[in-house]
Structure 1
Amino acid sequence: MRFPTWAALPLLFLSACATSSGTQGPRAEGSAAVASRLLPWSQQIALREQWLEQRHARLLDMMRRHGVGMWIIHNEEFHDDPLTEHVAPPRPYAGNRDIFVFVDAGAEGLKRVALTGYHDVALERFFELPGERAPREVLAELEARYQPKTIALGIGGKRGVTRSLTRDGYAFLAEALGSAAEARFVSAAPLIEEYLDTRLPDEWETYRGLVALTESVVKEALSSSVITPGRTTVGEVRRWLYDRLWALGVRTWFQPDLRVQRKGGAATTSRGFLATATEDVVIERGDLVHVDFGITYMGLNTDWQKMAYVLREGETDAPEGLKRALDNTRALQDVLMLQASRPGRSVADVYDETMAAMKQRGIEAMVYSHPLGAQGHALGASIDFRSAARKEEPKLLRDGSYIAIELNTATVVPEWEGQKVFVMEEDPAYLTKEGWKFFVPRQDAYYLIR
């Protein structure tokens, strides 16, 4: 049985997103109006289960590309594996051990077995359920019948989602499968990366709507409706963002951060970046305010950075020097997204070409873009100065993947007596044969706080 297609439902935000930078109207909506198109939880589950069918349909080819004969995801009560919601129906799992097994069964195709503490009809759509049989018995039987050359587990990866198997979980699987099978345990990291980094065409509209919602929330936060110059603190804006998420019924995957740059103020750094402002900082007229914020919904995540200027008395726009600083960051975006990036290119080549172009133009730049999707800091190919410095083999850009175009430029501003100003931007984008494209138009002017 297939659930009905939810394409007609308002969640897809078709009216919430402008298709060109010159389009106004729908994109001026507040976050409450955009969020009114969010699906109830039951319909979110139904749509995500449609996506899960498509993911499972791609899995066998992925397993064969990575030489994986069997893939096991081991979920524990109070210690959920972050893969579970992406390999099984996205519902709560409260069994002591819930185990999901994928086997390359040769001519039989992909065999899927769920070993859970309870029977669930939703699981029957995706997995064989062995009833009351003991998980150890079923695992041993699967191993003996199919004799997989490799058994991939969440071990040995460099990221949390690729090394999520607990020590006790490993011991349980090793005992159930036997020492001969344990000798064939391998890291599932390469398979996990391709599985999570592969975006589905059907996700695109939902994700675009999520980006539009992120934009709406940030525009409200960096506006006169939230910030009163000389009175509102950074902590109050942060708490407003938390409360807005709660009211909208969505989550975030990291703490919202704000940075404040001020004429005559000393720029402090943290790990090589402009440091975040403490919560007691009062936002004043003439400040340049930056926010870093993301939303989690439907198993997808956004990451978003934007800049606002607090007008001084008598001002109607930001000073020209600050505008030129924003122009420099836009120039960096253009080179990275449209000139340097193409599917199949090495991220090292993309980074080097981008930075060479910035050097030629005399623009001081930093690039630290990362994949987006199932996680905020997702798996896949990063275009990042830190990755460029590592000795590991550079990854290739994957057609259709999502990324956070995260970067900044530093520009001397005459109106600030030659002070260097950082303009930091971050926008979700997707890769096409013509380069990266934004889901919604980028920031072409500072948000103005009056």
Structure 2
Amino acid sequence: MRKYLLLLLPFMLLSCEIATKAEAKVQDPEISFEENLWPEIRKKRIKELLPDALKEAGVDAWMIVCRENNNDPLADHIGGENAGGTAAFLFYRENEEMKSVVFSPEGEAMALAELGIHDRVEPVERGKSALEEAVAFLKENNLNTLAVNSSDNNSLADGLSYTQRSSLEEFTKGTAINLVSADEVVYHWLSLKLPEEVEIMRKAATLTAAWQEEAYNMVVPGETTDADVARFLKQKMKEHGVKDAWHPDQNPNVNSGVDRGHSHATNKVIQQGDVIQTDFGIKVHDRWVTDIQRFAYVLKEGETTAPEDIQHYWESAKRGNRVAKEAMKPGVKGVDVDGAQREVMEEAGSSYVMWSTGHPVGYVAHDVGPNLGGSQSTHVRPDSNKTLKEGMTFAFDGFHSWELPTGGMKTISVEEMVVITKDGAEYLTAPQEELVLIE
């Protein structure tokens, strides 16, 4: 019996070690997203942010056309998510205040009015056109520069269908009303987030980062695959009732091998010496999203720290992220934030990276606002030349890229989230300071 106990002892000790490690894992922050705060936030956004957006865009009014089954992308931002027949939502400024009137089919008008979002809801009789009545209102009130959701550049500002556009052109023919793209209205409105929204995103960012670190605790080199780590994170999302920040097939993107760009996690087995990248985001309240990356290094036999070259790559990428953050403040152009980060890459000997330093994040992972890129491009995107403002939220990277001994490139992209304040940029959750080391 003693012989068998001696044989079992190493396995018993291993079991204790595994149990201890499991107990020491990162714990879920006590954060829930049960209360739906969107209805009140939506009203506040219309009242407080939309007047300046119309003013910045230089338009008299903005129209969103909503309808059942093929609705405008911004319908639920203005209360049009339950539209049946075609409804015209009009927003305009009166004495610097936001005013709104909706021309709605009479079957939905009462329910829409009860939401208390709009100043007026005008029922439209069956057989009559909501668009025609909206145009009559515009003419009567001399609202001649009308922004509509037709855009070459922004899908969120391109919800007007061809037939709806044709009808509007017909109804405005021979009038003083001029149809212009709502690009600038949507840009100035959606790019800013209210303090209440930022607080929701802080909580979501905290969970996003904590779950990624927890996922690295379950990695067993030589056994665990990238897809296993992704499944762990999917299970966390299911348990907490949150959704994917972008397409479910590519969230999370866990990659312990060569760069694969925006992609899905594969069945590659994680090995000693691998650098693991996890790019992950969640959607809370079915509204606000996160986009954060966390990195780990799998120690080889005898290692207690990452080797010198890997540590250099990590510190280089982290420094690029911190320099970019320092450059982010109201009035700074997105292209200049990218330029600051690229200088660090060049000094540290990084290979070229095609991706922008950062992008707005909020209602979608790649949201509306200034692009943090273009400093090394012959063609700078228009949004890269736009300036940062207080209340904008971003996900942004510090990069270091190198060639793997086995071929192919590997990039550490230290991605964090911030909100722009009057003094600069503020992290939404604690940034990653050290590589996660996996024994």
Normalised by the length of structure 1, the TM-score is 0.79
Superimposed CA distance per residue, residues 401-429 of structure 1 (whole angstroms, 9 cap, x where no aligned partner): 1111124112579xx79997521221111
In 2 relative to 1, CA 315–353 (structure 1 residues): closer, same or farther, beyond 3 Å?
closer
SS of residue matched to 1:328: helix
Does the aligned pair in 1 maintain the 2:351–2:402 contact within 8 Å?
Answer: yes
Superimposed CA distance per residue, residues 15-73 of structure 1 (whole angstroms, 9 cap, x where no aligned partner): xxxxxxxxxxxxx8634x534x222xxx31xx222222321223223212312112111
Choose which of 396, 414, 417 in structure 2 pairs with 1:405.
396
**2:247 is equivalent to residue 259 of structure 1:** no
**2:123 is equivalent to residue 131 of structure 1:** yes
For the residues of structure 2 that align with 1:432 and 1:136, how far apart are their CA atoms? 40
Shift, 1:160, TM fit: 1.0
Q: How does 1:200-279 map onto structure 2 within 5 Å?
A: 200-224=194-218, 227-254=219-246, 255-256=250-251, 257-261=253-257, 267=258, 273=261, 276=263, 279=266
1:280 aligns to what? 267
Does the aligned pair in 1 maintain the 2:193–2:392 contact within 8 Å?
Answer: yes
Choose which of 35, 39, 49 in structure 2 pairs with 1:49.
39
Larger Rg: 2
2:284 aligns to what? 297
**2:73 is equivalent to residue 76 of structure 1:** no
Does the aligned pair in 1 maintain the 2:91–2:99 contact within 8 Å?
Answer: yes
Choose which of 187, 197, 203 in structure 2 pairs with 1:193.
187
Shift, 1:312, TM fit: 3.4
Does the aligned pair in 1 maintain the 2:289–2:362 contact within 8 Å?
Answer: yes
In 2 relative to 1, CA 411–251 (structure 1 residues): closer, same or farther, beyond 3 Å?
same
Same amino acid, percent of matched pairs: 24
Choose which of 82, 88, 93 in structure 2 pairs with 1:99.
88
**2:155 is equivalent to residue 164 of structure 1:** no
Does the aligned pair in 2 maintain the 1:174–1:181 contact within 8 Å?
Answer: no
Does the aligned pair in 1 maintain the 2:61–2:93 contact within 8 Å?
Answer: yes
For the residues of structure 2 that align with 1:107 and 1:437, how far apart are their CA atoms? 31
Greater Cα shift, 427-436 or 117-126: 117-126
Please list every run of 5 or more consecutive structure 1 residues that lacks an aligned counterpart in the other structure.
1-27, 262-266
2:315 aligns to what? 327
Superimposed CA distance per residue, residues 94-113 of structure 1 (whole angstroms, 9 cap, x where no aligned partner): 52434322133468852332
2:432 aligns to what? 443
**2:175 is equivalent to residue 178 of structure 1:** no
Please list every run of 5 or more consecutive structure 2 residues that lacks an aligned counterpart in the other structure.
1-24
1:21 aligns to what? none
Superimposed CA distance per residue, residues 214-246 of structure 1 (whole angstroms, 9 cap, x where no aligned partner): 11222233321xx33323322333333333323
Greater Cα shift, 404-413 or 192-201: 404-413
In 2 relative to 1, CA 68–277 (structure 1 residues): closer, same or farther, beyond 3 Å?
closer
Choose which of 412, 417, 422 in structure 2 pairs with 1:423.
412
Does the aligned pair in 2 maintain the 1:355–1:365 contact within 8 Å?
Answer: no
Shift, 1:186, TM fit: 0.7
Greater Cα shift, 371-380 or 59-68: 59-68
**2:20 is equivalent to residue 30 of structure 1:** no
Choose which of 376, 383, 406 in structure 1 pairs with 2:365.
376
Shift, 1:259, TM fit: 1.7
1:16 aligns to what? none
Shift, 1:336, TM fit: 1.3
Does the aligned pair in 2 maintain the 1:371–1:377 contact within 8 Å?
Answer: yes
Aligned length: 400
SS of residue matched to 1:130: strand
Does the aligned pair in 2 maintain the 1:343–1:397 contact within 8 Å?
Answer: yes
1:87 aligns to what? 78
In 2 relative to 1, CA 221–171 (structure 1 residues): closer, same or farther, beyond 3 Å?
farther
For the residues of structure 2 that align with 1:376 and 1:359, how far apart are their CA atoms? 28
For the residues of structure 1 that align with 2:173 and 2:189, how far apart are their CA atoms? 28
For the residues of structure 2 that align with 1:108 and 1:412, how far apart are their CA atoms? 57
Aligned structure 1 segments of 4 or more residues deviating by more than 6 angstroms: 416-420
1:348 aligns to what? 335
Does the aligned pair in 1 maintain the 2:321–2:341 contact within 8 Å?
Answer: no
- Specify the code of the residue in structure 2 equivalent to 1:124: G
SS of residue matched to 2:70: coil
Greater Cα shift, 394-403 or 130-139: 130-139
Does the aligned pair in 2 maintain the 1:199–1:402 contact within 8 Å?
Answer: yes
